[in-house]
Amino acid sequence: MLLEAGVGAFFPPEQRERFGVSEDRHVLLDGLAAEGVGPGDVDVVVLSHLHFDHAGGVLRAWEPDHPPELVFTDADYVVGRTAWDRAAAPTPRDRASFIAELPGLLEATGRVELVDGPTSSTLGDGYRFHTSDGHTPGLLLTEFDTGDGPVVYASDLVPGVPWVHVPITMGYDRFFELVVQEKAGFLADVAARGVTVVFTHDPDVAASTIRQDDRGRFVAEFSRP
């Protein structure tokens, strides 16, 4: 299984420059290869949403005169239904955040599960979803059990340690006040249950538990390498 597909190297050179994507190689595939995992070993891909920086890694690296292709050809794909609908018909405000060809490529596999609630028939027991609409409608935050306790991929609701402070939002967030409300509830829940939160955009901290300090503010408690 693969959570959060990342950017990859699907952009042609002029778009890599526009979006600040400096890598000229498929970083995700390189990272998987370092763990001994090839594209054919991935059986399920969970996409928190379909913004290019979270879903682009499912595409093969860009080559001149080659149309986009999926790299995980045998995988099932799990996406929130509302996130799927937004990607298929984006607003003018967020159209540039999506890869126009991606929904069609995924749909053509016949292996897309669109989820509406906290569970997935593809993933089965041990996995559950939190949902968020503030960053983009239909965002999925995947929580799963480990021997060290539950872990949740916070995606773009809490993309890094600075965003653990509830009032901080991103310019990419569609609904700022909703993000603040959703973060407050999400962080209170994971702090109370001791859930480890994985940050998808923090360059220094991969993951942390959350606690409230003596002023009631949420803070990152410790990090996992």
pLDDT of residue 225: 45
Residues 197 and 214: their CA atoms lie apart, in Å, by 21
The full DSSP string for 60-115 is: PPP-TT----BS-TT-EEEEEHHHHHHHHS--TTTGGGB-TTHHHHHHHHT-EEEE
**Which residue type occupies 124?**
G
Q: Which of 109, 155, 149, 163 is nearest to 129 (CA)?
A: 155
Q: Which of 116, 124, 113, 132 is nearest to 179 (CA)?
A: 132
pLDDT in tens for each of the 225 residues of the chain?
666 666 666 666 666 666 666 666 788 888 899 999 999 999 999 999 999 889 988 998 877 878 889 999 999 999 999 999 999 999 998 898 898 899 999 999 999 999 999 999 999 899 999 999 999 999 999 999 999 999 999 999 999 999 999 999 999 899 999 999 999 999 999 999 999 999 999 999 999 999 999 999 999 997 444
Which residue, chain included where needed, has tokens 């360059």? 203
The residues, ordered by sequence, that sit 6+ positions from 66 with a Cβ below 8 Å of its Cβ are: 60
Residues 9 and 29: their CA atoms lie apart, in Å, by 10
Domains along the sequence of the chain with CATH = 1-117 (3.60.15.10), 125-225 (3.60.15.10)
Q: Which of 131, 135, 219 is nearest to 177 (CA)?
A: 135
pLDDT of residue 224: 47
Distances (CA, A) of 99 to 4, 41, 127, 189, 212: 15, 25, 27, 33, 38
pTM of the model: 0.90
